[in-house]
Chain A
Amino acid sequence: MSAYKIIFTGPVGAGKTTAIESISDEPPVRTDESASDMAKDRKPATTVAMDYGVLHLDDGERIHLYGTPGQERFDFMWDILTIGGIGLVLLLDNTRPDPFKDMRFFLESFEKFIGSTKVVIGVTRMDLSQSPGIEDYHLQLNKLGSSLNPPIFEVDARVRTDISLLVQSLLFSLDPGLKEA
């Protein structure tokens, strides 16, 4: 079984589940696990949610699509999830109070993984909030002194062609030698 995966990350509500659903060949699975120490009154309940989808390739191989839990307290899972990852799709919600802060946080959290692969950024909900614009995200990366110059696209997570284009840009960033099918 293929161990290859594409990781979707971003803050809560950015559209990770929806984006995976848009391109997955199977309805995405949402996995929930509760803390096992529920019996102990001292430990509060904890729920972990992770999204999973799959792409079926023509030779029967499967590419796993993983959505990371958006809550920061589950960031210990992110390293585990990225093992075998081809690249990172970072979705940012443009209606959040500080999307630049979100971008900085996730790029730093996945810095090692991005360094060995690539990242692309999809900005969602720009129909509800036009500011900041896509150019502003690029300027912000420049200001941070980041050496990254990734594709940053406005996307609607519900629209397959948007997410498909974003993932394609990830693959071509990894290897421009790929042919267009």
Chain B
Amino acid sequence: MAEQQDAVDPEPILSVRDLRVTFGSFTAVDGSTFDLFPGETLAVVGESGSGKSVTSLSIMRLVELGTRGKIEDGEMLFRLPDGEVVDLAQLNESEMREIRGNQISMIFQEPLTSLNPVYTTGNQVAEAVMLHQQVDRDVATERALEMFRLVRIPDPEQRLAQFPHEMSGGMRQRVMIAMALSCDPTVLIADEPTTALDVTIQAQILGLMRDLRETTGAAVMIITHDMGVVAEVADRVIVMNQAKIVESGSVYDIFENPQEDYTRALLSAVPRLGSMTGLADPAPFPLVDSAPS
């Protein structure tokens, strides 16, 4: 952790301890323990079914909604702005609603399915502000405009009046980020935020997320399968495999000195631009033998 930034607050904003989440007889998250610090970007990386998304849905307490998901065990200690610490695992639904969107917000992979097709994007962002901050529509619309500017949506005044289908995927994801940040959350959870986007748009959104961390100071937890994305944005990394955290450390530790076989196997499978420089013909991936199957 030598490379961690000095500015990071020593007190975690979120402390997850021994989290265990099950779906019937299947254990999706098995004894996860980690901290999230203010102002940092923590990447949770793993392959399909590793439990990374279930981890984020558990923090939001969305894992139990409409599924057989159950938080069986563990604590998720969250520090409120006034310093009080609550255990998210113990809150009831109405207490959770105070936190969701206000203190902890989330953006998802597919911005089109996260937006309501029959309302304008400005209307939807304003509604989120009205819901959480008890302000009137004019104030909320003004706030929405401010957020559109923050996430660098061109022509923000016109864009407020547009419907989701009138926007590109990258623009929709900006709207989602604007909505997620509209109530000044202290934690932003981004679940595969750029996976559905083209690579040039992905670069723009990742750049935006890096900048927003500076301007808002929110802690960001990014869930991704893409080691390239991790290397671009993360300060610290948690590697998950089959419901367990197999390794965690600074982004430099994970990429340059991975300790676990699984992490090494995962890194060996990552396609790296420039790795073929000087070679005339295609070449297979030099896979580490213990590659997961």
Q: Do A and B bind each other?
A: no
Query: Which residues of B are at the interface with A, using a C-beta cutoff of 8 A?
Result: none
Write the residues of chain A forming the contact surface with B, with a CB cutoff of 8 angstroms. Answer: none
